[in-house]
Amino acid sequence: MTNNRELYNQIQNPLDNDETLQLFLECYQQNHGDIPYNYIVGATYTNQRLTLDWDKQSELMAFLLNRSRARGGIQNPYGIPTINYFIKTLPDPVPKDFFTRPEVLVNLRDVFAYSDSMDELVVHPHVLKPWQGVGSSDHDEIHHRLYLNVKAEDEIDMAMKFVEKCDQKGLPIELKFFRLDSDRRDSFVIYVPGEELSSYIDMLREIKEENPSLVAKVGEPPIFTGNIDGWIGYGSEKIDSYESSSYHAERLKVINDSITNVLRSYVKENLETQISNPDTNQTISVRDYFTKNLKNQVVEQKRRYINLDSKTSQEIDSAIEQSLEELLSDEFKEKSYQIESMTFQLNRFHIRSAIADVISKCDIDLSKFLPDIKKEIQANAIIRGMDPDKICFDVENRDLLFARDNSEKELQAEDSPKVLIYSDKNNSSNQS
């Protein structure tokens, strides 16, 4: 079995890929100072449709119910009478096509109304429609996520292969897959408890070896996960917090904040630099263009309520310019202004949008910012408890994995036979 430190060294750090950072920077600039969540998971959310192959769905449900029956019985933890009747009338074994039969489908409405109570068919903590869950959460807390970019038509096959392997090896099962036919790269998520990461990676490698045609269709994992073998993505799960934001949301905040910090510093250092003004085809200072952008955002806020005369417009310009140092400070969050009878606010999202707009007008190669952005991401990662050398890991989870390796070495040392080496001085002297 691969030990955890070996696995850690095998995982590719997403920060080492300058092309990924360049893509994030371009996205930030094009999206008004914000990298949207769907970008980091690779989803466009266009023309999505719910793909439910009912033949495959029936096969999965039959597979899971037969598995539960073989492992001690199908559970109805809340004692719901409708489900009790459903369980009693199930054939043994449940055929693959059972849930496609018209006479069965007629009676399924009440069962599915209570399906959240059936651990065989759903997992609770992480699953919301249109996700489908498999497994249960009655095991050690989750420390890791593994992401597979599985096509919608292959998800049920992958789920069954995974469940079979987990049963063979006695490993807990908790996964979800995305039932919309989309291009998101995190369509299949495996939740890994405790210190078992290397066991699950070894198991996925076995699945690939035994099912090469299935795994050959798996795409690249999400771009900011730790890449394993080109098809498995790794991400740390926050310990002791199901309510915290997800792996991708946590990393996305670090990326957005880090890019903002670097570009904001550039804007502050170049306020007097002349850039092209697209409205006049003349040059304008960064200071004036930045102020103008913020004023335009204010005007957009108030457009439906008030007509701004030239005097008020000039006063807004003046108020923003006088507070420019505050607006460009690292600590800035929000500021309110009072111009005659009008009140308006600027917040950090307005500042990000203005920064992105200014950068787009500067004659500068964006790759120039990449080294500083990488350093800033590493610094912010440390603050948030992430591993600066492999940002896909939280430090706490990484250290727990390493500690397990050390414990196993100590146990192996205790179990190994002891060889005593000694010198028989008396015998030695007699021979001499």
Give the Cβ contact number of residue 250 at 10 Å: 20
**Structure confidence at residue 87 (pLDDT):** 83
- Tell me if residue 247 falls in helix, strand or coil: helix
Average pLDDT over every residue of 317-322? 93
230 has pLDDT over 90: yes
What span, in angstroms and rounded, lies between the C-alpha atoms of 112 and 108?
Answer: 6
Q: What angle do CA 146, 152, 153 make, to 5 degrees?
A: 125
Cβ burial 203-213 (10 Å sphere, 16+ → b, else e): bbeebbeeeee
Q: What DSSP line would sit under 137-204, residue for residue?
A: --SSPEEEEEEEB--GGGHHHHHHHHHHHHHHHT---EEEEE-B----TTSEEEEEETT-HHHHHHHH
Hey, what CATH topology would domain 271-361 get? Actin; Chain A, domain 4 (3.90.640)
**Structure confidence at residue 305 (pLDDT):** 66
Cβ(334)–Cβ(346) below 8 Å? yes
| Tokens read off for 151 | 């096509």
Secondary structure (H, E, C), 354-396: HHHHHHHHCCCCHHHHHHHHHHHHHHHHHHCCECCCCCCCEHH
Q: Is the dihedral of CA 281, 286, 291, 297 positive or negative?
A: positive
428 has pLDDT over 70: no
Q: Of 76 and 233, which is predicted with more confidence?
A: 233
- The Cα-based distances of 334 to 85, 331, 338, 341, 351 in angstroms read 59, 10, 14, 20, 10
Q: Of 366 and 113, which is predicted with more confidence?
A: 366
**Structure confidence at residue 244 (pLDDT):** 59
pLDDT band at 125 (very low <50, low <70, confident <90, very high): very low
pLDDT band at 272 (very low <50, low <70, confident <90, very high): very high
| Tokens read off for 20 | 């990924």
Average pLDDT over every residue of 57-65? 86
Question: pLDDT of 177-226, one tens digit each?
Answer: 887 666 788 989 999 987 789 999 999 999 999 999 999 999 999 999 99
Q: How many helices (H) and strands (E) does the chain have?
A: 18, 10
What span, in angstroms and rounded, lies between the C-alpha atoms of 214 and 158?
Answer: 8
> CB neighbours of 258 closer than 8 A, spacing ≥ 6?
373, 376, 377, 379, 380
pLDDT band at 426 (very low <50, low <70, confident <90, very high): very low
Cβ(250)–Cβ(391) below 8 Å? no
pTM as predicted: 0.83
> CB neighbours of 95 closer than 8 A, spacing ≥ 6?
62
Average pLDDT over every residue of 45-54? 57
Cβ burial 360-395 (10 Å sphere, 16+ → b, else e): eebeeebeebbebbbebbbebbeeeebbbebbbbbe
Cβ(108)–Cβ(74) below 8 Å? no
Cβ(318)–Cβ(292) below 8 Å? no
Q: Per-domain residue ranges for the chain? A: 40-245, 271-361
Q: Of 293 and 84, which is predicted with more confidence?
A: 293
Average pLDDT over every residue of 124-128? 39
* Percentage of residues of the chain with pLDDT beyond 90: 52
Q: Which of 70-84, 371-385, 401-415 shows the lowest mean pLDDT across its residues?
A: 401-415
**Structure confidence at residue 280 (pLDDT):** 82
Strand 274-277 to strand 282-285: parallel, antiparallel, or no bridges (unpaired)? antiparallel
Cβ(8)–Cβ(398) below 8 Å? yes
What span, in angstroms and rounded, lies between the C-alpha atoms of 295 and 346?
Answer: 10
pLDDT band at 161 (very low <50, low <70, confident <90, very high): very high
Indicate the DSSP class of residue 339: E
Q: What DSSP line would sit under 248-280, residue for residue?
A: HHHHHHHHHHHHHHHHHHHHHHTTT-EEEETTT
- The Cα-based distances of 153 to 6, 157, 159, 331 in angstroms read 34, 8, 11, 48
Average pLDDT over every residue of 373-390? 96
Location of structure tokens 């146990």: 411
**Structure confidence at residue 431 (pLDDT):** 40
